Structure 1
Amino acid sequence: MLYQLLLVVALLQIQKLDCWETKLRHQRKHINDDFYHDEESEATGGHRSQTDTRKLVRGHRQDRGGHHKQQLEDNRVRTKEDENKNMSIFRSANNTIVMAHAGSRTSLPCQIFKDSQHGVITWGLLPEGDRPYTLLTVGDSLYTDNLRFSIEKPIRHDHWNLLINPVTLADSGEYECQATIHPPQSIIVKLVVQEAYAEIIGTKEKVFKSESKLQLVCALKQATSKPEFIFWYHNDRMINYDHNEGISVAEDMSGSTLTISSVSVRQSGNYTCQPSNMKSDSVIVTILAENKSPNALQDKASGNTVVIPQVAAGGNMILPGYSLVLIVVVYLVPLAVRPSST
């Protein structure tokens, strides 16, 4: 009897536990439904159907996807900006060497990529020995008092070449073209200035016969550009345009050639080749008075002098330095072959 009573009590407890578990499960479900219902109501201001709820969840997912895409785009932009900071904005090569001769007009290259964020472009002469750093230009404005320096005015705004006119030997050195971005970027241009000079080919003393063709060739040495002019002087007179005297002048990148079609004795004298902003060169020209002679007595290419016998009045040929030898030989030969008196 006691056993049966205990069994009934146990069954009642189990049923009671099942009832409580079912009730608790139902309460939990009701709480969750109320929570999602309140959340949807706050977002929309009213009640939504199950279809509206699904659309709301889908919209949340799309918003999360769009936000992720925006983050990726922002990261890509930042990465590109970082790459641009590491890339050079200069199209011109670094450590360029520019050769120029004193007195000429020269330009130091500084070209940047179009549409680059370059800030302000400045030019400066780097220190060397006792010479300090010298700021030359800021933007397109001249900073130094030396008016020989300026910025070339380009059609486009990606050229910032430094113009020096005229250049001097003291201008040799390293120049820096700098962009004031963060961090700053710059390129170096080395300028080497040398002294150009003229050289008339051949010896310094030249001999021509009258009515022969005279030609003098003037070569430009260490010149980096063609001079504005090359003048020829006979003594103190400039003769480039004396065409009535049979004079013509031809110029090219290597120099100038003076030609006189038929020279006369009065055209003897000093001849000078004078290029602009270069050291000149001179030669002495002697014109002999004999007629119907060959051309120049001197070979310009080799510099060797050719001796031509002179013809005296009456048609007798004069051999300077050989007449005395001939007389002695003629006199001594009979004595050598004469028989002995004994």
Structure 2
Amino acid sequence: MLSFILLLTVLSADFIGAEESSSKKFRDFLQEWPTPGTGPYFDTSVNSNITGLVGKTVMLHCRVKNLGNRTVSWVRHRDIHLLTVGRYTYTSDQRFEAIHSPHTEEWTLRIRYPQRKDSGIYECQISTTPPIGHPVHLTVVEPITEILGGNDLYINMGSTINLTCLVRYAPEPPPTMSWSHNSHAINFDSPRGGISLVTEKGPITTTRLLIQKAVQADSGVYTCDPSNANSANVRVHILDGEHPAAMHHGCSRSTFQSILLIFICMFFVAIRMNPT
């Protein structure tokens, strides 16, 4: 009789243990399977079009609601390369890093020293079944220096030379914006006088070089050289009452042939009008 009671006790304990184990598995299953309407989703109000600057750290942000026990990853579309999982970085490229503060909804991919080749689509993914993702478009640009008016500028003698240089997409406004003439730094205190510089710094930095009462000695190549961007050149031609094309290019071959043809036609017309 005692053995029978012990057997019942063991069987009861096994049954209760198995029931508790099954109940736990079922609870885990319910936890893994999100309730309709309450699963994780992306906050699409976060900016998904990012413009970064070459060499300046850029941050790609992803905000996830109701994440639960899921994980967030960043994937680069170009080569389907897994960059981060949760707070861990999975790429050997040390420029990439996962940033996340506990108990927050922000999951950030930080890219140090970005290059233009890093432009493209990066996807923030949630480890649901199947995974769901939110694309972020990154465009990496480099500073552009431009002198308005093209590569050649024609100025009448005695007029004011007005050279305007723009710098776009610089990491910050250039600390200095220098000008040179034929590879020599412009001296604003030179005896020549009449030379001034006006600079306005901002997202687009503008510097304007003004040279009054232009003379032939002012002809040549002017260079705008920002301290944190590439330089730009313009060739200035000082005109003394001559047309630029005639002054610098002369008559082209086609123009000469046209003029010659006109003279030949006029010659034959003259002969027909005066046969004797």
Aligned residue type for 1:121: V
Of the three residues 35, 59, 71, the one matched with 1:107 is 59
User: How big is the alpha-carbon RMSD for the aligned residues of Structure 1 and Structure 2?
Assistant: 4.5
Residue 92 in structure 1 maps to residue 44 in structure 2: yes
Q: Distance in 2 between matches of 1:211 and 1:247?
A: 19
Residue 216 in structure 1 maps to residue 167 in structure 2: no
Over 3 Å counting, the alpha-carbon distance change for 1:253 and 1:178 in structure 2 is same
Higher strand share: 2
Per the alignment, residue 322 of structure 1 pairs with none
Over 3 Å counting, the alpha-carbon distance change for 1:121 and 1:155 in structure 2 is closer
Over 3 Å counting, the alpha-carbon distance change for 1:182 and 1:232 in structure 2 is same
Per the alignment, residue 36 of structure 2 pairs with 83
Aligned residue type for 1:106: V
Q: Distance in 2 between matches of 1:271 and 1:154?
A: 51
Identical residues among aligned pairs (%)? 27
Aligned residues: 205
Q: Which runs of no fewer than 5 residues in structure 2 stay unpaired?
A: 1-29, 190-194, 245-276
Of the three residues 173, 197, 203, the one matched with 2:144 is 197
Over 3 Å counting, the alpha-carbon distance change for 1:243 and 1:193 in structure 2 is same
Residue 284 in structure 1 maps to residue 226 in structure 2: no
Of the three residues 200, 205, 219, the one matched with 1:250 is 200
Asked whether the 8 Å contact 2:96–2:110 carries over to 1, the reply is yes
Per the alignment, residue 138 of structure 1 pairs with 85
Per the alignment, residue 120 of structure 2 pairs with 173
Query: What is the CA distance between 1:111 and its match in structure 2?
Result: 1.6
Query: What is the CA distance between 1:259 and its match in structure 2?
Result: 2.7
Per the alignment, residue 261 of structure 2 pairs with none
Q: Distance in 2 between matches of 1:94 and 1:83?
A: 24
Query: What is the CA distance between 1:125 and its match in structure 2?
Result: 0.9
Query: What is the CA distance between 1:283 and its match in structure 2?
Result: 0.3
Query: What is the CA distance between 1:121 and its match in structure 2?
Result: 2.5
Asked whether the 8 Å contact 1:205–1:284 carries over to 2, the reply is yes
- Normalising by structure 1, we get a TM-score of 0.45
1:261-282: CA deviation from partner (whole Å, max 9, x where unpaired): 6477676543233457765431
Query: What is the CA distance between 1:160 and its match in structure 2?
Result: 1.9
Residue 273 in structure 1 maps to residue 247 in structure 2: no
Equivalent residue of 1:248, what SS?
A: strand
Over 3 Å counting, the alpha-carbon distance change for 1:139 and 1:263 in structure 2 is farther
Equivalent residue of 2:149, what SS?
A: coil
Aligned residue type for 2:207: T
Equivalent residue of 2:199, what SS?
A: strand
Over 3 Å counting, the alpha-carbon distance change for 1:208 and 1:95 in structure 2 is closer
Q: Distance in 1 between matches of 2:227 and 2:57?
A: 12
Asked whether the 8 Å contact 2:196–2:211 carries over to 1, the reply is yes
Q: Distance in 2 between matches of 1:148 and 1:190?
A: 18
Q: Distance in 2 between matches of 1:226 and 1:92?
A: 29
Q: Distance in 2 between matches of 1:156 and 1:271?
A: 57
Asked whether the 8 Å contact 1:94–1:189 carries over to 2, the reply is no
Equivalent residue of 1:110, what SS?
A: strand
Per the alignment, residue 124 of structure 1 pairs with 75
Asked whether the 8 Å contact 1:95–1:188 carries over to 2, the reply is no
Aligned residue type for 2:196: G
Aligned residue type for 1:82: T
Higher helix share: 1
Q: Distance in 2 between matches of 1:153 and 1:202?
A: 48
Per the alignment, residue 179 of structure 2 pairs with 233
- Normalising by structure 2, we get a TM-score of 0.53
Q: Distance in 2 between matches of 1:189 and 1:95?
A: 8
Query: What is the CA distance between 1:166 and its match in structure 2?
Result: 3.1
Equivalent residue of 2:107, what SS?
A: coil
